[in-house]
Amino acid sequence: MEQKINLPTKKEIILPARMFSEKDLSEMEIDFVKGKIFFNKADKNNSFKKITAKVKENMAVLNYRDFSQTKFSEKLLLENIKEQVESDECDFIILPHFKNENDFDVKTKIQIAGKIKNNSNVTKPVILEISHKCDIVHRELARLSNKFDFLSIFLISID
């Protein structure tokens, strides 16, 4: 069943919301997919690619800095969050998965997510990304779910 969500950035996404990359759109030979999410990925040392006006108008944008090969660093996470908060190019704030995160790292991310959500100057939805291997008890994660808007489960794909 489809559900429409209006984002504070005045965009609408239709759930379930599949994400599309620049490569996906190119392979499908289309400019955008209305009501879906544009996945703009960059590694920790590179800038994000510029997004076309059509994508900006018709898709929610997720600027995803890939830390999956980097050990957890609160400093890196906070720098990444600041970049997302200040950017007009993205519609979400994601707290991404780091390499070999442990329960303490995940709980730190949840605490930071809660501070973001309680900041009245930040209106973008908060996404908490954790590994599918995370040991945090599901009941505890459910209890803390008021600290983030969406949960993303990081799963390594093996091709």
- Tell me whether residue 159 is in a domain: no
Q: Mean per-residue pLDDT for 14-43?
A: 94
Segments forming the whole domain that contains residue 93: 3-154
Q: How confident is the model at residue 70, as a pLDDT? A: 95
- Tell me whether residue 10 is in a domain: yes
Count of domains observed in the chain: 1
Q: What's the pLDDT band for 9 if we cut at 50, 70, 90?
A: confident
- Tell me whether residue 13 is in a domain: yes
d(CA 74, CA 46): 19
- Tell me whether residue 47 is in a domain: yes
Poorest-pLDDT segment among 36-40, 44-48, 52-56, 129-133: 129-133
- Tell me whether residue 28 is in a domain: yes
- Sign for the CA dihedral angle at 71, 77, 79, 85 comes to positive
- Tell me whether residue 68 is in a domain: yes
- Tell me whether residue 20 is in a domain: yes
Nearest to 37 by CA among 21, 19, 52: 19
Q: How confident is the model at residue 157, as a pLDDT? A: 57
Q: CB neighbours (10 Å) of residue 120?
A: 6
Strands (E), 25-121: 37-43, 60-71, 93-95, 98-99
Q: What's the pLDDT band for 82 if we cut at 50, 70, 90?
A: very high
Q: Mean per-residue pLDDT for 71-78?
A: 96
Q: How confident is the model at residue 155, as a pLDDT? A: 72
Nearest to 91 by CA among 3, 6, 4: 6
d(CA 55, CA 73): 32
Global pTM value: 0.90
